Amino acid sequence: MIDSIAQAGEALAEFIERHPKLWVITGAGVSTDSGIPDYRDADGQWKRPPPVQHGDFMASLAVRQRYWARALIGFKAMREAQVSGAHRALAALESMGYVELLVTQNVDRLHQRAGSSKVIDLHGRADMVACMTCGYQLMRHAMHSEMARMNPRFAALDAHHAPDGDADLETDFSTFKVLDCPRCQGILKPQVVYYGDVVPPARRLAAQAGLQNADAVLAVGTSLMVYSGYRFCRDAHAMGLPVASLSLGVTRADALLTHQWRAPLTPVLEHAVGCLQQRLLD
């Protein structure tokens, strides 16, 4: 059942007032209004085949050919995405002093573009690429430009955009030329934590440190099906912190939640921010 926007927004504002140091975790639902597709439906099930595995990407040239050929098309959605009302509302909450830390599972950097500064990109950032051998780095757009030059036939193709800069393209990828590291010829990979990889310890520890200083957890637009995000809700529950969720569907943490609103993200967040701003004026 979908909660009414006004009721959910007012309840969320009350929750924030009672817990003014929020540890916020966000997921793909925050960026769908920005035109970036998400992975899961309201029941937490995959809408499409799961994304590439780290081990497969590293071990197989064919997997990398498929990945980068599709990315030439699909990454346009991420590159051209604009911040949504949900991103702006969360940035407003930070400016009002209600956000201790925002941990995002997204790799699009839209929270930062909206004005949030207390952000940890848990799964990395898609706009940067690094060599897995020597650490050489370059911007993603520069790599795409070079591979488009190397592969004009693929660059001219079109397909529906998919999550995280992918595209629904199926063809023979065997002739696609992948750009290797210009310094050492190593494998270039987006600075993103793929499935089968692990979150860098320093990033995980920084997120946990923020949780120690928080009054409550607020999960926004995430099913929390991935353990790297779910673990923090589990830890918060063990610490006795309230755990709330705003999303359109189920979450892996449903049994741990003290508050849950199933409602559209942007209007509820905007309503909550409006309530809080009004109370500051009263």
Q: Which domains does the chain have, with CATH numbers?
A: 5-281 (3.40.50.1220)
Q: What is the largest CA-CA distance in the chain?
A: 66
Between helices 85-95 and 265-281, what is the axis angle to 10°? 30
Would you give per-residue pLDDT tens digits along the chain (282 residues)?
567 999 999 999 999 999 999 999 999 999 999 988 776 666 667 656 677 899 999 999 999 999 999 999 988 888 889 999 999 999 999 999 999 999 999 999 999 999 999 999 999 999 999 999 999 999 999 999 999 999 999 999 998 887 777 888 999 999 999 999 999 999 999 999 998 899 999 999 999 999 999 999 999 999 999 999 999 999 999 999 999 999 998 999 999 999 999 999 999 999 999 999 998 886
Residue 5 has phi, psi (to 5 degrees) of -65, -45
Query: Looking at residue 164, what is its pLDDT?
Result: 73
Provide the whole-model pTM.
0.93
Going by C-beta distance under 8 Å and a sequence separation of 6 or more, which residues neighbour residue 282?
none
Q: DSSP for 21-51?
A: SEEEEE-GGGTGGGT---SB-TTS-BSSSPP
Tokens 């070079």 locate to 146
Beta strands in the chain (DSSP E): 22-26, 99-104, 119-121, 124-131, 137-139, 161-162, 166-167, 188-192, 216-220, 243-247, 259-262
Pairing of strands 166-167, 216-220: unpaired
Rounded to whole angstroms, how far apart are CA atoms 115 and 192? Answer: 22
The catalytically annotated residue of 87, 111, 123, 271 is 123
| Strand order across the 119-121 sheet | 119-121, 99-104, 22-26, 216-220, 243-247, 259-262
Rounded to whole angstroms, how far apart are CA atoms 171 and 259? Answer: 46
Give binding residues for Zn(2+) as ranges: 131, 134, 181, 184
Going by C-beta distance under 8 Å and a sequence separation of 6 or more, which residues neighbour residue 31?
38, 81, 84, 87, 106, 108, 110, 221
Query: Looking at residue 59, what is its pLDDT?
Result: 97
Give binding residues as ranges: 131, 134, 181, 184
Rounded to whole angstroms, how far apart are CA atoms 197 and 112? Answer: 24
Is 111 annotated as catalytic? no
Query: Looking at residue 160, what is its pLDDT?
Result: 87
SS3 166: strand
| Strand order across the 137-139 sheet | 137-139, 124-131, 188-192
CA neighbor of 252 nearest in space, from 263, 264, 243, 241: 243
Rounded to whole angstroms, how far apart are CA atoms 72 and 178? Answer: 11
